[in-house]
Amino acid sequence: MTRELRAVFGGLLAIMVLCSAIPASASDFLEAFPLSRVENEISIESPAHRILFSPVREVNDEIRSETMVRVPVSGIGQLMKIATDSDRRAARDYYRQRLQEVRASVLYECQGRDCGRSNVWANQIFGQATLYGRDDQQDYLAALVENNDRRWLVLVYTVTRGNQREYVWVEQLEIGADAVLPGAASDGGRVRGPIMVPWSGGVTVRFDWSSTDRRHLTSWASEPGAQVVLTSHAELQPNELLEQSMERAAQAADAMSALLAKTGVSEERQKILIVGPAIQFREPTRNADHIELLVILAP
């Protein structure tokens, strides 16, 4: 087993490619959030549909975004009102999970004011005035689903309006095989994950991960030549030294390594990266104590 202390793994950790089978079209797997009501559904057919991969702003009635492409698409857009006994975080987690169950890569995501103005997203980007809400209570996700020579873009935008009503907008768009997208992986489907596993404890480390995630990891790791990358994160606690946080992360990594060894993933096939609090994400949950698992398949 090899351990390295590093501080930069952004490119590796940005890829989300999971192993379950992909249906014939994106709309076949991405059903509407169960605790929502579809208020509007539109057909989207365009030779140059605008897709954003960076924050948006409007200057002199012109849309500005550092990374933006126009690609030919064919698909649907759905506006859904989230039930009062749920919230947009649950909706966001639902779509994340559904994307995690298929071969998906997250190309871009943002939260709150880092996304730009909600007014611009609602009226200029999506053409849905109902989505105009609070700038600090919005998030956006763009993901790519691939199956042989067919590709789909999935866009998910959630927002809380001033009247506290919450909405989610989802676009499921098939795109041409030749369309160039920022952040699209060229790994040939060899990188699978990440699976994020929260951990807690000190001397005895406890992991909170689902049986579905465990089955996914076992399936991926069973392929000949597969290697498992364990990246251990720890949140810096009040009055805690960096070295102490790194040590907690190392202890969690050792515990996970031993657990994987018991399930058939030998130490020789494991790669451990101790990050601690050295990498910070815009998404708060990714700064908490957790381990991210990636499986790298053989060429």
Q: Is the predicted pLDDT of residue 228 greater than 60, yes or no?
A: yes
Beta carbons of 118 and 134 less than 8 angstroms apart:
yes
Greater confidence, 100 or 6? 100
> H/E element holding 205?
strand 205-207
The domain 2-16+186-296 having CATH identifier 2.40.50.140: the answer here is no
- Minimal CA–CA distance to 187: which of 20, 17, 26? 17
pLDDT in tens, 23-45: 445 555 688 999 999 999 999 99
pLDDT of residue 6: 40
Q: Alpha-carbon distance 108 to 117, whole Å?
A: 17
The fold of the 26-175 domain, in CATH, is Protein Transport Mog1p; Chain A (3.40.1000)
User: Which range, 136-150, 218-232, 275-289, is most confident?
Assistant: 218-232
pLDDT in tens, 166-194: 999 999 999 876 777 776 655 556 777 77
- Minimal CA–CA distance to 275: which of 238, 240, 235? 235
Beta carbons of 128 and 122 less than 8 angstroms apart:
yes
pLDDT in tens, 51-87: 998 888 877 777 888 788 888 999 999 999 999 999 9
Beta carbons of 153 and 51 less than 8 angstroms apart:
yes
Q: Where are the domains of the chain?
A: 2-16+186-296, 26-175
In this prediction, residue 94 has a pLDDT band, given cuts at 50, 70 and 90, of very high
Average pLDDT, the chain: 83
pLDDT of residue 142: 92
Greater confidence, 22 or 56? 56
Give per-residue burial for 84-106: e unless 16+ CB within 10 Å, then b.
eeeebebbbebbbebbbbbbbbb
Q: Alpha-carbon distance 62 to 131, whole Å?
A: 19
61: exposed, middle or buried (C-beta count within 10 Å: 0-12, 13-18, 19+)?
A: exposed
pLDDT of residue 255: 95
